[in-house]
Amino acid sequence: MLLFGSNITPRFHEFSLDDISLMNSYKGEESTAIPIPILVLISLGIPIIIIVSLSAFRKSLSLQRRLWDIFCGLLSLCGSQVTQLTITILLKNICGLPRPDLISRCLPSVSVLPFGQLATIEICTNDDLPLLMDGFRSFPSGHSSTVFCAMVLVSLNICGKLQVFDRRGISSHVILVILPLLLACFVACTRISDNRHFLRDVIGGSIIGSTVAIFFYYQYFPSIFNLENCGRAYPPRRYGLATLYNNVEGFWNLEERTSGSFQRRNLNSIESLRKLIEATNIHISPQDLVSTGLSENIDLLNRLSQELNGRYINLDE
């Protein structure tokens, strides 16, 4: 995605040679506070370690549940990062706004233009086209969107796993939640001090990254305010059963030692199956399903689908 974005020609926005905000000096990537390799470590390496650790060492959960939570955590991280990068790269090239160091990248052929006339890229003499094109990718900040996406996701995982909102007032838990956000703020602010972005770019990137992270977290995990769930992810989803279950696909059961909010949508639950069986001509006791395996469960659901033939059953009643 990064290679794709760097090879797209942005829309070259007009600029003024008299604009002091565009006269900052250019720093090479290796001279910046957070170069790309460090950003990758912060935005991928650290979140992976934290997400895996938060689930792997929870001995109160079964091994099956811990592995599934790790998988969902990593899936939300990868999905959110790819999504925010796509949004950020598209906006960078569509907006084509100049960076604070554009004039030092441009090396304009003249120093003064007629009053009121804006300069275009044609005035630039720099032969390094990739460097010049990157000078028109100021908004939004890619570093900010990437690091905020990662750190917000980490904070949400910590909130859920440690039950920060349990009203017990454990300050250490709150600090653990805040630290990733402080790191994200630091990385974002360095883009201003490195003459790469304006404040608007950093704020815009931070909003994009945070929004995408929150969206992807709640695709795989219940609310962090739901304390009974203890930060566990939704179990594996079933597909193709929406017409039977209130347009909700439902989930396969995992080996659980404690209950959680996600179980209200589990289709393996005896109560849900009882309501469906009562609406058909199938003669089977829901209690008998406790000892059946996965294949028998699937066979029953296939029979239910044929018997109900698209009928709508409200399981919430």
* Residues, the chain: 317
Tokens of 304: 């239910």
**Which pLDDT score, from 0 to 100, does residue 241 have?**
52
Q: Phi/psi zone of residue 199: left (φ > 0), alpha (ψ -120 to 50 degrees), beta?
A: alpha
CA–CA separation, 134 and 9 (whole Å): 9
Q: Across residues 211-237, what is the average pLDDT?
A: 86
- For the cut 80, the answer to whether the pLDDT of residue 51 exceeds it is yes
Is 13 a residue of the active site? no
Q: Phi/psi zone of residue 26: left (φ > 0), alpha (ψ -120 to 50 degrees), beta?
A: beta
Tokens of 161: 């796993």
Gyration radius of the chain over CA positions: 26
User: Which residues neighbour 134 within 8 Å (Cβ) at sequence distance 6 or greater?
Assistant: 6, 99, 105
Q: Which residues are registered as beta bridge partners of 119?
A: 15
Look up residue 69 and give its amino acid: D
Q: Which residue has the tokens 């709150």?
A: 174
What's the pLDDT tens digit per position in 135-167? 999 999 999 999 999 999 999 999 988 888 877
Catalytic residue among 13, 173, 197, 283: 197
**Which pLDDT score, from 0 to 100, does residue 245 have?**
47
3-state SS class at 15: strand
Question: Cβ(65)–Cβ(255) under 8 Å?
Answer: yes
**Which pLDDT score, from 0 to 100, does residue 247 have?**
42
User: Which residues neighbour 297 within 8 Å (Cβ) at sequence distance 6 or greater?
Assistant: 268, 289
**Which pLDDT score, from 0 to 100, does residue 62 have?**
81
- For the cut 70, the answer to whether the pLDDT of residue 307 exceeds it is no
**Which pLDDT score, from 0 to 100, does residue 190 have?**
95
78-92, 170-184, 276-290: lowest mean pLDDT where? 276-290
Q: Across residues 205-226, what is the average pLDDT?
A: 93
Question: Cβ(209)–Cβ(145) under 8 Å?
Answer: yes
Cα-based torsion angle of the residue sequence 111, 113, 116, 119 in order, rounded to the nearest 10 degrees: -80
- For the cut 50, the answer to whether the pLDDT of residue 248 exceeds it is no
How large a percentage of the chain has pLDDT more than 90? 44
Catalytic residue among 13, 143, 173, 283: 143
Between 159 and 249, where is the model more confident?
159
- Sign of the torsion angle spanned by Cα atoms 135, 141, 143, 145: negative
Is 143 a residue of the active site? yes
